[in-house]
Structure 1
């Protein structure tokens, strides 16, 4: 219900922009609706291909809500749309929060990577998974962390919304490469059953690890494409390139 409300608010804000003669990409609206749809389906286990309680179902939920849904949500530039829609006084509040020192720490790609990968490591290599199965409220907290950490990581790596002190594209590509490596190592450790003690049949654990490995690769590739597709060289870089090119024909 909450996801449907958020999707409705975004669609309404986008419609108001277009109705008021202000341009807003239909692709961004479609991206946000798609992200909300993936998130909604991930929260309805009965619609997933694996039976309830199956670890493969849990892994598919993790990929959908922590990696795939954030990609659709973040690439829709919700912060930019919000700033265009809300009254100026609220926009100043949002801008102040985004420019705060605490938010600068959260918006660092290394911090975002630590929250993203660290959450998975804590779930699979500590007793957190046991506790989550025993405490329903903790289950919701873990799901919220996956969504929030996934959106934060996607935003600081490739989000179209402005981010404070965002590093260069090559630096973000390095962080993305580290994330791919750590994700792959974690999947291989799950497959081999190293340093884990989960009440899961070995064949289910291996299939879930394969799902994590290949599903993670696909979403990371989509994120990398989103990053490089929005890369625009700076004016100085473009000017230097043109000068070098002309010099070759002098």
Structure 2
């Protein structure tokens, strides 16, 4: 009988996992799910059905986990992660699209799920449409804070990766020098010098 770890490894290496972990798949799932939810009848359905509400929360949680797993996660992914600059670009794109969603809700003149909210017996406070505008403003402003924190974390990861790579190269050079063997950089420079000598050009002179 397969153990949980074996099941997890099997899922991680499945074609489905490879497909959904592609950045161009995970990004639309993460961003456009909110557009589909709030600008279709699904939002009204989620308000009226507890099961649909749970599905909405679970889907948003899974979509967010998938996207940030690819962008900033430390656990292995089914496919190689993009480079740090590309991951930062993905986060910036998600920020823009998320901000646009908040602005669209904030400036909308149509109430989302109008039958539900107009039926609420609330004589006090702002109107449902004013509440919706406030919610859009909150989504637009405060929703970008987590993305900015992710970008800062990505910058730190990028810097640490460069430092690790530089230390690796330094260790390789020290080991090659101790063993009396030229490292790859020295061999490459010597090859360039030899090619320049054969062509009759000074290797230290700019072309």
TM superposition score normalised by structure 2: 0.66
Match of 1:223 in 2: 150
Residue pairs, 1:4-153, within 5 angstroms: 90-153=4-67
Tell me how large the CA RMSD over aligned residues is.
Answer: 3.0
Change (3 A) 1:219 1:145: same
- CA drift at 1:213: 1.1
Unmatched 5+ stretches in structure 1: 1-87, 244-249
Aligned partner of 1:210 in structure 2 is 137
Q: CA deviation at 1:91?
A: 3.2
Unaligned runs of 5+ in 2: 118-127, 174-184, 186-203
- Alpha-carbon distance in 1 for matches of 2:14, 2:50: 34
1:113 offset after TM fit, Å? 1.4
Cα distance 1:212–1:137, how it changes in 2: closer, same or farther (>3 A)?
A: same
Superposition TM-score, scaled by structure 1 size: 0.56
CA distance in 1, matches of 2:5, 2:44: 42
* 1:70-115 deviations in Å (ceiling 9; x for gaps): xxxxxxxxxxxxxxxxxx9543442232122210111112211111
- Residue 238 of structure 1 deviates from its aligned partner by 7.5
Residue of structure 2 in register with 1:235 after alignment: 165
2:96 corresponding residue in structure 1: 181
Number of positions where the alignment pairs a residue of Structure 1 with one of Structure 2: 157
Structure having the higher Rg: 2
Whole-Å separation in 2 of the counterparts to 1:95 and 1:208: 41
Q: What is the alpha-carbon distance in structure 1 between the residues aligned to residue 11 and residue 145 of structure 2? A: 33
